[in-house]
Amino acid sequence: MKVLSLKLDEDIFDETETVCEQIKKTRNRYINEALHFYNRLQKRRILAQQLGFESQLVSDESMLVLQEFESFEEDAQKE
């Protein structure tokens, strides 16, 4: 385990202490679980952003291919 010095806003600290007492968890365990949850949330947001970007790339490429097919059809109809 790593040792960490952490500065918290007074109101966040007080709220954390209250919650820890109510759920009968140590502050250390509670903060570890909270950070684990927050890290997973951020990873999902990053992944969603990447997928959105890649989806847009695929969409753009699909539209280009569609335009090419349509131009082939137009050329074939002219002949």
Query: What is the rounded distance in angstroms from the CA atom of residue 18 to the CA atom of residue 24?
Result: 10
The encoded tokens of residue 26 equal 């140590």
Query: What pLDDT score does 39 carry?
Result: 98
Query: What pLDDT score does 19 carry?
Result: 97
Query: What is the rounded distance in angstroms from the CA atom of residue 47 to the CA atom of residue 5?
Result: 30
Residues 8-34 have pLDDT tens digits of 999 999 999 999 999 999 999 999 999
8 Å CB contact between 16 and 31: yes
Query: What pLDDT score does 43 carry?
Result: 98
8 Å CB contact between 30 and 19: yes
Domain residue limits, the chain: 10-78
